[in-house]
Copies of this chain bind each other. A is one copy, B any other.
Amino acid sequence: MKKFIAAMTSGFLITGLMVTVSAFAQDSTSAIDKKGAKMKKSIGAKTFVFPTPVFVVGSYDKSDKPDAMVVAWGGICCSKPPCVAISIREATYTYGNIMARKAFTISIPSEEYIKEADYFGIVSGRTEDKFAATKLTPVKSDLVDAPYVKEFPFAVECSVIQIVKLGSHTMFVGEIKDVKADEAVLGKDGAPDIEKIRPMIFNPANRTYYGIGKYLGDAFSEGKKIKK
């Protein structure tokens, strides 16, 4: 582990250089390879992958005021124990809250809550009472020391088990203690139905929100058409 922390530290030292190298690579990339085929275009070292999520992260501050922010840098990171990672900047109010309580929730807003979700990412809980402004209701988790958003159909309650400093962002790995969903978004099998939750997607390339599209196929099944 120490070796990797050392590797990370040296990574920081050359970050400025790497950005410069990237900028040059972008200009000099040829559009045609040796065989005359079209090559991909280099567009630089950017935080672009598709999709990224719209997680509304709930926490309590020192005076037990509930706060929420929106996070697109995150995702599931382990199956056993079930864990989800979120990355946030140290300057955020949420950062201090999670550091102190070692807990957070992730509420998944439906499309209809696009304004509220985006608002959570625009203002700071340091100066605003975001729940009051959005007229949304904080619900205290019965398992972790953090609130989730009652009006959003789906929430995950997490206890922090690892904190990894990366650079501009710090990653909090949360063990998922429970998943809670409105009855209205559960399918016949009792599992959450993504078509009823209607989560949003964040598009980092132009900072827009998208909805979920149509069902395409089953995992661990489609590929069997290739596997003989």
Contacts and interface: CB of A to CB of B under 8 A. Distances in A.
Q: How large is the interface on A (under 10, 10 to 19, 20 to 34, 35 or more residues)?
A: 35 or more
B11 A81 contact: yes
A216 B114 contact: yes
Contacts of A62: none
A100 interface: no
A178 B39 CA distance: 14
A156 interface: yes
A98 to B, nearest CB: 13
A91 interface: no
A175 B43 CA distance: 15
Interface string A1-45: 100110110011001001000100100000100000010111111
B84 A49 contact: yes
B210 A22 contact: no
A73 interface: yes
A48 B179 contact: yes
Number of identical protomers: 2
A166 B177 CA distance: 15
Contacts of A47: 76, 78-79, 82-84, 176
Interface of A: 1, 4-5, 7-8, 11-12, 15, 18, 22, 25, 31, 38, 40-53, 55, 72-85, 87, 106, 108, 111, 114-123, 133-134, 139, 142-143, 150, 154-156, 159-169, 171, 173, 175-183, 186-187, 189-194, 197, 199-227
24 contacts: A4-B161, A7-B162, A18-B177, A41-B182, A44-B179, A45-B179, A47-B76, A49-B53, A51-B51, A52-B53, A73-B79, A77-B85, A77-B169, A78-B171, A114-B216, A123-B223, A187-B206, A194-B203, A207-B220, A208-B218, A209-B218, A209-B222, A210-B213, A211-B216
- Enumerate the 8 nearest inter-chain pairs by beta-carbon distance, A residue then B residue, closest first: A75-B75, A211-B213, A119-B223, A118-B223, A40-B180, A50-B199, A78-B166, A118-B222
